[in-house]
Structure 1
Amino acid sequence: MKPTTLVDVIEHKAYARIGLLGNPSDVYYGNTISISIANFWASVKLEPSDRLVINPHPYHDLVEFDSLNYLVSMEVCVWLWPSVKYFTSTAKIIILIFMRGFLPYLMIQIFLDRHQVKVDERPTLILEAEKELGIVAGLQDRVAQVYGGLVFMDFSKTQMDRLGHGIYTPMDISLLPPLYLIYADNPSDSGKVHSTVRQRWLNGDEFIRSTMNEVANLAVEGRRALLEKDYAKLASLMNHNFDLRRSMFGDDALGAINLRMVEVARDTGAASKFTGSGGAVVAFCPDGPPQIELLQEACRKAGFIIQPVQVAPSFLKDLDLGSSSSA
C-alpha cells in the first residue's frame, strides 16, 4: 500500500556560494558578504516508499566500476562534483537539502511553517546537525544557502550572544557587477587552511586578532561600495581581502595552484580573491570587456576554467523576511 504523504515527490537544490568579502571572518565574530550562485548545486529527490532507501546518483555516486583505473578516475573527477568541491563541504549541502526535503516529507514542516522557525534561525538547525557530524566550517555557508541571492552577514559577538545567531541582510543582486569564476581540478583542503589560524585566534594572537578585524571591516566597506555602485572601490577591497588572508595563513597553507589562480587574474589587472578557503577564485574586471577577454585568454593559457558567475535569486519570500527574529 502506498504510504500517506504530503506530496508524491519532493525535490530540492542547494546552490554553491561565493564569499565575496569578509571571509574568513565569519568564524571570528566578523562580517561577510556572500553570493549564492546557480553555476553549481547539489540536489535531492524524495519519493514515497514503505522503506527508507537511499538511492545513489547514477553518475556521481557509482557503486560499480568497469576497472580499478575507472574507480580512481571517478574518485578524482566526480566524487566531489563542482558545486561541492569548490565552495562548501559535501556534508553541509546534504544536510541542508535533507532538512528542506525530508522533514516536510515527514510532515514536520520546519521550512514550510514560518511561524515555528524564524528565517534567521533556520541556518542554526544546519549548524547543530553539522556539530553532531564533527563538521567544522564558516557560518556564512549555511546562511547563504538558506537565504540565497546576495546577503550581508553580521556575526558580531554582541549579536551572536544576544540572538544566538547573526543579523542577515539581503541585498539587491542587481547591485553586483559582472563577476567571473576561476577554478582548477585540485582544490585545497579547507580544514587544513583554517586550523592553525583558528588556534592562534583562540590563543589571543594579537596579529591574527587585529588582521581578522580588518578583514571583517572589508565587508562593511564593501556593502557601502555596492550600494553606491563604486566598483573601483569594490575591486580594491577584493584584492585587499585576499592579501590579508595570505598574510595570516601563509603561502604553504593556501597552496601553489590557488595562489597561481589569483596571480593569473591580477596579471590582467582584474581583482581576485578566493571564493572560500581555496579551490576557486572570484574575479572582477573593472575595466570592462577588453579586460574580460584578457582574463579569459590568460586562464585558458594557464589551464584554468573560467565562467561568468550566475547569481541565484533570493529563496526568501516576504513572509520569511517578516518572520526574522531580528526584524
Structure 2
Amino acid sequence: MICILLVAGHGTLLEAEIKQNDGTDLYRHLIGVPVTLLPGIGGKKILDFWWKTVNVRQLFTEAYLVTNADKYKHFERWATANDFPVENIINNGSTTVEDCLGDVADLELAIRCRKLQDDIMVIAGNMLCEDQNFDLAQVIRFFRSKPGELIIYYEMEEGGNSTSRGIVEVCPDSHRITSFLEKPWEGLTSSCLTSVVFYCIRKETLPFLSDHLRQTETTDRSFGRFWERVINQNQLDVFGMKLPTGFQLIGQVGLSDYMKWLTRFSTKQQDNSSRPITFRSFARVGLMGNPSDGFNGKTIAMTIKNFWAEVTLVKSQTLVLLPHPLNDPTEFGSLQDLFSISRKEGYLGGLRLLQATCKKFYQFCCKHGIALTKKNFTLKYDTNIPRQVGLAGSSAIVSAALKCLMTFFHLTDNDLPKPVRANFILSVETDELFITAGLQDRVVQVYEGLVYMDFSKKLMEEQGYGNYISMDMCGLPQFWLAYMSDPSDSGRIHNNVRQRWLSGEPLVIEVMETFAQLTDQARVALKDRDWNHLAQLMDQNFELRRSVYSDECLGPGNLMMVALAKQFGSAVKLPGSGGSVVGLCLNPGKLVEMRQAFQEAGCVFCVITPYNPSASTVISQLELLPHGSSQAPQGQHGPLAEYQKMEMQIHK
C-alpha cells in the first residue's frame, strides 16, 4: 500500500489575518508558513503528527507528499529535517488559490507521474486531530476485509454545522456508505457522521479518478464531489470506518478559528490524559421469570444499591491489569490458608473478566468498523458483591469495565446501543470464559433500575435481542435479600434442564412458557401496585422452578432459606442461580424477627435499597461527576442515610 499526504493548500486567509490583526507580533513568525507546518497539539507541527502516524515501514512501501510551487521550499526543508525522502515530494505547480488543482487532481497527479499501481491511503495533512495515535494497522485490516473503498468518518459534536462538511449515511450492519452528501442543505439529512479526507482506495478504482476529472469543472475537483458522484450513482462499493475522535480541517480558516480549535483539542487531551475514569455497575435481583431468560422466556429484574462492582481506568504507558488483593490472591500465609480461601472463593477472580473484556472490546471494534487510537491504560476493580450467590457479580465487573473503555475511547450509545452492549457482556462470559449465563443480568445492569425483558425466540432471531422496557420504580414495596455465608452447597442450578429443553421435553417447554405468563402478570401487578398479587406470583415462581429442577439440584441451603422465609409469611424466590433468596414481606413488623432468624441460621440478611437511575433525589453521585468519578454520595440522600431511614421504619 502507498500513502499519499495532500498538503497543497495555500492558507491565504490565515496569513492575511495575521498580517492585519496581530498587533502584538505574537503570530508574525507564522507568516508564509504552510498551514500543514503550523504548530499542532503539544507544539509539534501538524504534519509531524501525520508523518509519525504513517511512517510505519511494514504498512507502506512508499509515502508521497503533494504540495504546491508556492510552498515547495518549506516542505523540502521539512523533509530534510524529518527523514522524509525529498524525491517523494510532488510539486503540482500551483502558486495561488485560483490556480490550485483540487484534491482529486493532486492525488491523480501523484498516481500518474509516479506510475503507482498499488492500493492507496490518502490523507489531508492539514487536519487537526483530538487524539494523536491512530492504529493504522487496524484501519488497513478493515479495508482489506471489505470488497470496496474505505472512507474514515467521525461523529460530529452536538451543535456542529453539517452544511459545511461532507456527511455520510452508513448501514450499521454492513458498514456500507449508503449516501454521501457534500455540504448538504440544512434538514436534508439527520446524519451527524462527517467524512474527512482520509481514504483507502483500491488500485482497480484509480481510473475512476481520471474519469471524474474529465467530466467535472475545476471548481468541483474536491473529494466530496467525487464520493458524492460514485456513491450516490452506485458506481462503487464504498464502506465506512469510524474514528471516535474529533477532527478539524485547518485549510481556509482564519487566525481565531485556528487558535480556537488548537486550544480546544489541546485542553481536551490534557484533561483526558490524567483524569481517572471510574464506573459502577450494581448487583441485580431477579423478581420474576428467572431462569427462563435462557429459554426464550420473560423476566423482571432490578438493580440494587447494596452491592456493586467498580472499575477504574487510568491512562498509562503500558496496558496493565491490576489484580485485586482479596479476589485475585497470589500470596498466602500457609497451605492451610490457600486451601480455605480456594474452597470458599474458588480459583478465578475478576482479573480474567477484565482481560476478556479488553480482548472482546478490541475484537468488536475491529469487526464493526471502529478505529481505536493507540493509547494504553491501567485497569483495576473492586467489588462488594458476594460470590457464588447468584447476584450477577461477574457481569457487573464486565459491565463497569465496558463503560470505562467506551469513555476512554470516546465511544457512544450509537456505537454500542444498550441491547448490543448487553449481548456483548454476555459474549465475554460465554464465548471467552465459558461461563454458563443468561441474558437477564446483562440487560438489567446496562439499562439499570426495574426492567421487564422479553426474550421470545422470534424477537431474538429477528433483531438479535429481546424487548427491554424500563418500569416505574416509585412506591415499590419493601424487598429483602438473604444469602448463605458459605454457598458451597447451593447446588448445580441449571443441571440438565437445557438439554431437556433443547430436546423438546413437553414439561420443560410448558414450565418456561408459564414463567413468561407469570412475568406478564407481575408486570401488571407492579403497575397497579398490587403487592398481594405480586407476592403470590413470587411464590408461584419458586414452586414452578422447583417442579422442573429437583430438590437435589436446588440444594439444601436454598431450600432452607425458602422454608425459613415462609415461616414468617414472606413471599420468597431465588433471585439468580442460587445461594441467595429475595423476598417480599407484606408485614414490615416481622422483618426484624426474620432477620434474626436468618442470622442465626448462618445467613446474611439485608433490606434491599433499589438503584433507580432516574430518581433525582437518590441518583448516584457516580453519574453526576465527570467520567463517572467514584466519590461516594454524601448528605441526606446518600446510601447510608437511606439505609438508616429504612432501619428506623423497620424497627417502628
- TM-score, scaled relative to structure 2: 0.45
- C-alpha contact (below 8 Å) 1:148/1:315 kept by paired residues: no
Decide which moves more: 48-57 or 13-22: 48-57
Decide which moves more: 229-238 or 83-92: 83-92
Q: Report the counterpart of residue 302 of structure 1 in structure 2.
A: 601
Deviations 1:300-321 (A, max 9, x none): 332222110111123799xxxx
AA aligned to 2:608 is V
Question: Is 1:87 aligned to residue 402 of structure 2?
Answer: no
Aligned residue runs from structure 1 range 16-27, under 5 A: 16-27=283-294
Q: How far 1:98 sits from its partner (Å)?
A: 2.1
AA aligned to 1:52 is L
Deviations 1:205-239 (A, max 9, x none): 00111011111211110010011111110110000
Q: Report the counterpart of residue 474 of structure 2 in structure 1.
A: 174
Aligned residue runs from structure 1 range 213-232, under 5 A: 213-232=513-532
Question: CA separation of 1:313/1:265 partners in 2, compared to 1, >3 Å: closer, same or farther?
Answer: same
Q: Report the counterpart of residue 320 of structure 1 in structure 2.
A: none
- The 2-side partners of 1:116 and 1:10 are apart by 19
- C-alpha contact (below 8 Å) 1:188/1:278 kept by paired residues: no
Q: Report the counterpart of residue 71 of structure 1 in structure 2.
A: 338
Of 163, 167, 186 in structure 1, the residue corresponding to residue 486 of structure 2 is 186
Q: How far 1:260 sits from its partner (Å)?
A: 0.2
Q: How far 1:191 sits from its partner (Å)?
A: 9.0
AA aligned to 1:192 is R
Q: Report the counterpart of residue 35 of structure 1 in structure 2.
A: 302
Q: Report the counterpart of residue 420 of structure 2 in structure 1.
A: 121
Q: How far 1:188 sits from its partner (Å)?
A: 5.9
Q: How far 1:87 sits from its partner (Å)?
A: 2.7
- C-alpha contact (below 8 Å) 2:283/2:391 kept by paired residues: yes
- C-alpha contact (below 8 Å) 2:453/2:466 kept by paired residues: yes
AA aligned to 1:104 is T
Secondary structure at the aligned position of 2:300 is classed as strand
AA aligned to 1:34 is A
Q: How far 1:57 sits from its partner (Å)?
A: 2.0
Secondary structure at the aligned position of 1:14 is classed as strand
Secondary structure at the aligned position of 1:182 is classed as strand
AA aligned to 2:598 is C
Question: CA separation of 1:60/1:117 partners in 2, compared to 1, >3 Å: closer, same or farther?
Answer: closer
- The 2-side partners of 1:114 and 1:290 are apart by 45
Secondary structure at the aligned position of 2:611 is classed as coil
Q: Report the counterpart of residue 548 of structure 2 in structure 1.
A: 248
- The 2-side partners of 1:189 and 1:162 are apart by 40
Greater relative CO (CA pairs within 8 A, separation 6+): 1
The structure with the largest alpha-carbon Rg is: 2
Question: CA separation of 1:303/1:192 partners in 2, compared to 1, >3 Å: closer, same or farther?
Answer: closer
- C-alpha contact (below 8 Å) 2:490/2:556 kept by paired residues: no
Question: Is 1:47 aligned to residue 314 of structure 2?
Answer: yes
Give runs of ≥4 in structure 1 deviating > 4 Å. 76-81, 88-91, 188-191
Q: How far 1:49 sits from its partner (Å)?
A: 1.1
- C-alpha contact (below 8 Å) 2:305/2:611 kept by paired residues: yes
Secondary structure at the aligned position of 2:541 is classed as helix
Deviations 1:139-167 (A, max 9, x none): 10100110111101111112212211011
Question: Is 1:209 aligned to residue 476 of structure 2?
Answer: no
- Aligned pair count reads 311
Q: How far 1:74 sits from its partner (Å)?
A: 3.4
Secondary structure at the aligned position of 1:180 is classed as strand
- The 2-side partners of 1:233 and 1:61 are apart by 44
Q: How far 1:89 sits from its partner (Å)?
A: 5.4
Decide which moves more: 37-46 or 115-124: 115-124
Deviations 1:107-162 (A, max 9, x none): 251xxx22333222221121232332222211101001101111011111122122
Question: Is 1:199 aligned to residue 466 of structure 2?
Answer: no
Q: How far 1:175 sits from its partner (Å)?
A: 4.1
Q: Report the counterpart of residue 321 of structure 1 in structure 2.
A: none
- TM-score, scaled relative to structure 1: 0.87
Decide which moves more: 68-77 or 249-258: 68-77
AA aligned to 1:121 is V
Question: CA separation of 1:193/1:87 partners in 2, compared to 1, >3 Å: closer, same or farther?
Answer: closer
Note the aligned Cα RMSD (angstroms): 2.5
Q: Report the counterpart of residue 323 of structure 1 in structure 2.
A: none
Decide which moves more: 197-206 or 70-79: 70-79
Question: CA separation of 1:14/1:242 partners in 2, compared to 1, >3 Å: closer, same or farther?
Answer: same
- The 2-side partners of 1:129 and 1:191 are apart by 24
Secondary structure at the aligned position of 1:294 is classed as helix
Question: Is 1:60 aligned to residue 360 of structure 2?
Answer: no
In structure 2, runs of 5+ residues without a counterpart are 1-132, 134-268, 350-383, 617-652
Q: How far 1:196 sits from its partner (Å)?
A: 0.7
Q: Report the counterpart of residue 130 of structure 1 in structure 2.
A: 429
Q: Report the counterpart of residue 311 of structure 1 in structure 2.
A: 610
Decide which moves more: 248-257 or 207-216: 207-216
Of 463, 469, 481 in structure 2, the residue corresponding to residue 163 of structure 1 is 463
- The 2-side partners of 1:63 and 1:121 are apart by 35
AA aligned to 1:117 is L
Q: Percent identity?
A: 38
In structure 1, runs of 5+ residues without a counterpart are 318-327
- C-alpha contact (below 8 Å) 2:298/2:455 kept by paired residues: yes
AA aligned to 2:422 is P
- C-alpha contact (below 8 Å) 1:148/1:312 kept by paired residues: yes
